[in-house]
């Protein structure tokens, strides 16, 4: 099985790659369109802001390619947000693969933005990506923007209200948290993606 990490400039690429190595997969880091198209699985990692993330994908000529992929694709953190229609962060048009907006958390007493730390995951519908989740499973989040709950939501977390922690539509999947920093739960969910 060939797995590629899209070299979109995310600072979490090394830790995602190491997490995959622990699962026995040596994922190539690439921005080469042919290599991405030929891979069995594609992972779009990302940390940072939506506008620079999309600018990097456009600069690399990868926007149309990513939209055309038919193999399983996983967006992680910012990578998940880039799969959506539009981000309120800089009013950025994203890839439009999942019919959802990306909205900023509203600051409130006791709710600091960014949302940072461990949070419980709650499955909202059955899907091979989340079927192994237990009722007490938690993942590690660091983000200021989130995807609202919708038909595409597989699991939620709560921070001043429920938001999408795991999403999917067709062959496109996303995890808002950092599976590479989420210990056994993150490894299990990455393993689930590799089995899709």
Q: Which residues are annotated as catalytic?
A: 77, 178, 180
Beta-carbon neighbour count of residue 194 at 10 Å?
Answer: 19
The encoded tokens of residue 101 equal: 């907006």
Q: Where are the beta strands (DSSP E) in the chain?
A: 3-6, 28-30, 41-44, 73-76, 84-87, 92-93, 98-104, 115-120, 122-123, 138-143, 145-146, 153-158, 162-169, 172-175
Gap between the Cα atoms of 170 and 70, Å rounded: 9
Partners of 164 in the β-ladder:
147, 156
Taken in order 125, 131, 136, 138, the sign of the CA dihedral is negative
Gap between the Cα atoms of 161 and 44, Å rounded: 27
What is the separation of C-alpha 185 from the centre of its chain, rounded to a whole number of angstroms?
Answer: 15
């Amino acid at each position: 099985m060939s797995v590629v990490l899209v070299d979109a400039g995310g600072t979490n690429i090394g830790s995602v790659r190491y997490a995959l190595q622990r699962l026995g997969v040596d994922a190539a880091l690439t921005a080469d369109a042919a290599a991405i198209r030929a891979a069995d699985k594609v992972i779009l990692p990302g940390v940072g802001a939506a506008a620079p993330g999309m600018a990097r994908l456009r600069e690399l000529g990868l926007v149309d390619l990513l939209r055309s992929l038919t193999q399983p694709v996983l967006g992680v953190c910012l990578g998940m947000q880039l799969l959506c229609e539009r981000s309120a962060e800089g009013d950025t048009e994203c890839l439009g693969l999942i019919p959802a907006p990306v909205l900023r958390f509203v600051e409130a007493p006791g709710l600091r933005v960014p949302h940072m730390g461990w949070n419980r995951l709650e499955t909202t519908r059955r899907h091979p990506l989340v079927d192994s989740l237990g009722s007490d499973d938690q993942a590690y989040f660091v983000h200021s923007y989130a995807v609202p709950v919708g038909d595409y939501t597989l699991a939620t977390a709560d921070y001043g209200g429920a938001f999408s922690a795991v999403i999917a539509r067709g062959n496109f999947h996303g995890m808002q948290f950092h599976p590479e920093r989420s210990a056994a739960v993150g490894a299990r969910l990455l393993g689930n993606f590799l089995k899709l």
